[in-house]
């Protein structure tokens, strides 16, 4: 059986979409500090803000405009739910179908995120680059590329992407590139620089537990 939105009525951007975002928010609040809980779900609320931007990119006055936009939006929501359920192959297929109908920087970024969960970092980075080409002011794909390069151990290459994320005009989570810059500098043994970025992340988001833990480690190294 396909996802819950398949073949359903036209969907407005109101109650059902808000319920999904609120559910994601509750998951984040409940589990963000639980190290044993999957990273995929710990990151959900951060991605929910991007999902909200997706709503806006598809809508005018709260309603999806045009038959192609409606079909793309339905496919995208279905893809997101498959992704959150860990069914990544189906999510990839649906994201691609949505993008053919109505490409957005956010959707390319979500597709890249799905590839990352499949361990396909090359494909993840390429999708983020497509997002940047479509909207150079959108900050999330710069940060994601930086994070993927850190995962590969390519710390120097990651730095420039993360700095570009900080310069992006359309971004709501500047604490993430600061945190990732701190991670890269920690790996390079530049503990004072790492400490600076962890502190910057906490100034933006005081409850960011990963940055607080990383700052404690950086402080130990600089004593």
Run means of pLDDT, 10 residues per run, the chain, 223 residues: 32 39 37 37 50 55 61 86 90 95 90 94 97 95 96 97 96 92 97 97 93 96 85
Domain boundary among 87, 112, 135: 135
Q: Where are the beta strands (DSSP E) in 22-156?
A: 59-60, 63-64
What is residue 175's predicted lDDT score, i.e. its pLDDT?
93
As for how many domains the chain has, the answer is 2
Considering the domain architecture, whether residues 66 and 38 belong to the same structural domain is answered as yes
118 & 218 share domain: no
By the 8 A CB rule, do 36 and 108 touch?
Answer: no
Domain boundary among 113, 135, 157: 135
4 inside domain:
no
Question: How many degrees, rounded to 5, is the angle at CA 196 between CA 191 and CA 197?
Answer: 100
110 & 155 share domain? no
Give the pLDDT confidence score for residue 85 in this predicted structure.
87
Range of the domain at 162: 142-223
pTM for this predicted structure: 0.75
Is 31 part of a structural domain of the chain? Answer: yes
pLDDT given at position 67: 73
**In terms of domains, do 110 and 178 share one?**
no
Task: Tell whether 150 and 131 lie within a shared domain.
Answer: no
pLDDT of residue 192: 96
Q: Is residue 3 part of a domain?
A: no
User: What is the pLDDT, as a whole number, of residue 22?
Assistant: 42
Indicate whether 203 and 118 sit together in one domain.
Answer: no
Do the Cβ atoms of 42 and 31 come closer than 8 Å? yes
Say if 17 falls within a structural domain. yes
The CATH number assigned to the domain holding 181 equals 1.25.40.10
Q: pLDDT value at position 159? A: 98
Distance CA 105, CA 88 (A): 19
Q: Which pLDDT does position 42 carry in this prediction?
A: 42
- One domain, residues 17 and 80: yes
C-alpha span between 29 and 45 (Å, rounded): 8
Do 108 and 178 lie in one domain? The reply is no
- At 62 the pLDDT is 46
Res 172: pLDDT: 83
Q: Which of 116, 135, 154 is the last residue of a domain?
A: 135
Domain presence at residue 158: yes
Question: Is the residue at 2 inside a domain?
Answer: no
């Amino acid at each position: 059986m396909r996802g819950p939105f398949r073949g359903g009525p036209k969907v407005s951007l109101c109650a059902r979409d808000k319920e999904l975002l609120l559910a994601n928010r509750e998951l984040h609040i409940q589990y963000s500090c639980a190290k044993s809980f999957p990273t995929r779900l710990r990151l959900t609320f951060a991605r929910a803000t991007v999902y909200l931007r997706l709503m806006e990119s598809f809508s005018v006055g709260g309603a999806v405009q045009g038959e192609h936009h409606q079909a793309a939006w339905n496919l995208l929501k279905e893809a997101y739910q498959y992704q959150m359920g860990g069914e990544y192959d189906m999510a990839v297929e649906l994201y691609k179908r949505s993008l053919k109908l109505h490409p957005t920087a956010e959707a390319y970024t979500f597709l890249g995120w799905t590839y990352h969960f499949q361990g396909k970092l090359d494909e993840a980075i390429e999708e983020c680059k497509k997002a940047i080409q479509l909207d150079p002011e959108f900050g999330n794909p710069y940060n994601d590329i930086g994070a993927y390069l850190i995962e590969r151990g390519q710390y120097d290459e990651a730095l420039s992407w993360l700095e570009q994320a900080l310069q992006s005009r359309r971004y709501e989570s500047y604490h993430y590139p600061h945190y990732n810059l701190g991670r890269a500098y920690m790996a390079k043994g530049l503990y004072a620089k790492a400490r600076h970025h962890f502190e910057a992340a906490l100034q933006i988001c005081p409850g960011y537990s990963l940055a607080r833990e990383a700052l404690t480690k950086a402080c130990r190294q600089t004593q």
